[in-house]
Amino acid sequence: MQANDWKEKLNSLANSSSEMKEEIEKIRNQEKTHAPECNKQHFRIELDKAGRKGKQATLITGFEGEEDDLKELAAELKKLCGVGGSTRNGEILIQGDLRKKISDLLIQKGHKVKVC
């Protein structure tokens, strides 16, 4: 009988583990539905030269969402523009004056953009 006891305990643990996995998936799916939609983003694009010894940089502000999504968007913009850049404090910094190109790309993706 002892052999059956540990088998029953193992089966109950396995069943509870699969139930926990299902619950985790439900929670993850709910979190995804609560994320802001991409077409509801309002970006402000401006030229910034302060603290860069006269070199120009395009600053994109107004992002709402997770830090990972911000980094993903920044990587995509840098790749499409063929330049470097960074992210910090919810802002994307792209090297050079690329306001027009970046605004066109963001509008194409369904975002609202204000160029300053």
The residue extents of the domains of the chain are 1-34, 38-115
The DSSP annotation for 54-109 comes to T--EEEEE---S-HHHHHHHHHHHHHHHT--EEEETTEEEEESS-HHHHHHHHHHT
Indicate yes or no: pTM above 0.75. Answer: no
Domain at 38-115, CATH homologous superfamily: SUI1-like domain (3.30.780.10)
Least confident span in 3-7, 48-52, 101-105, 107-111: 3-7
> Model confidence over 76-96: pLDDT tens digits?
999 999 999 999 889 999 999
Assign 24 a pLDDT band (cuts: 50, 70, 90): low
